[in-house]
Structure 1
Amino acid sequence: MGYTTRTTVDASFDDAIDATMAALEDEGFGVLCDIDIQATFQEKLGEEFQRYRILAACNPPLAHEGLNEEIELGALLPCNLIVYETDEGEVVVSAGDPEQLVGIADNDALDSIATEVKERYDRIIESLAAGPGAATET
């Protein structure tokens, strides 16, 4: 079983970033942090790397509910989505599976929250996959 849901999008890298941020916003998430791995590796290591961004997303009401149930849940927050360009030039958007991540906490009170986040992430990935030639994988 994979730990992400992903899709290849029919868009430029920059357009995929914009579309992913818009889809996150539509589902009630904000991007707390946008980490440019390519730029970081170049700056810190002098190494080349493909275009790769980590979007650290948060849905405040769901995060609040989760932290009230499990104070240590913050170690798993925020939820990350990644956008990267493959060696073949394809652009991929991938989201971690919150049900698997929350399963680490072994707290049944978090199950409904994880399911809600997963459903929202699935809708985000599906909306991004709507372009021609996109293939969603789980």
Structure 2
Amino acid sequence: MYGFTTTLSGVSFDDALAKTTQALKAEGFGVLSDIDVQAAMKDKLGEDMPPYRILGACNPPLAFQALQAVPDIGLLLPCNVIVREVEPGQVVVGFLDPQVMVKLVGGAGVKTVADEAEQRLRRVCASLGGNAVSP
């Protein structure tokens, strides 16, 4: 598995997105990018789909450590977080497991950063409530 998720019920997509952004901030992550997949699919393909966003979350101290350990690790940054509506009132929030970096790159410096990032992201996931799914 390459990530972990939680499913929020009884919440609007916009509220889940705001709650996710706030929970990330509480763990030291900023959102560097916010890709509106729903809007892109409508604009580029004329296709309708439920709300779906990809957030590029970054914790600057951890990113700096990772870049110092392996400069090309920027190919794997930032940590992606998805927020997607399954149906009205049901939203999945998913997190890329930072341990994926360790599997691809290896090295003690990266492992230390991935461990810390994973702990923080799992706390974000847990703070959202919902039904968590983990590998």
TM-score band w.r.t. shorter chain: over 0.9
Counting matched residue pairs gives 133
Kept in 1, the 8 Å contact 2:13–2:89? The answer is no
Does 1:91 pair with 2:91?
yes
Q: C-alpha deviations, 1:52-92, integer Å up to 9, x for none?
A: 00010111110001100000100000111000011475201
Match of 1:3 in 2: 2
Query: Shift of residue 103 of structure 1?
Result: 1.9
TM-score by length of 1: 0.92
Alignment gaps of 5+ in structure 2: none
1:47-126 equivalences under 5 Å are: 47-87=47-87, 90-126=90-126
Give me the identity figure in percent: 45
> With structure 2 as the length reference, what TM-score do the two structures score?
0.94
Larger proportion of strand = 2
In structure 2, C-alpha distance between the alignment counterparts of 1:44 and 1:90, rounded to whole Å = 26
Query: CA RMSD, aligned part only?
Result: 1.2
Q: Which runs of 5+ in 1 are unaligned?
A: none
Cα contact 2:31–2:58 (8 A) shared by 1 = yes
- Structure 1 segments, 4+ long, off by >4 Å, are none
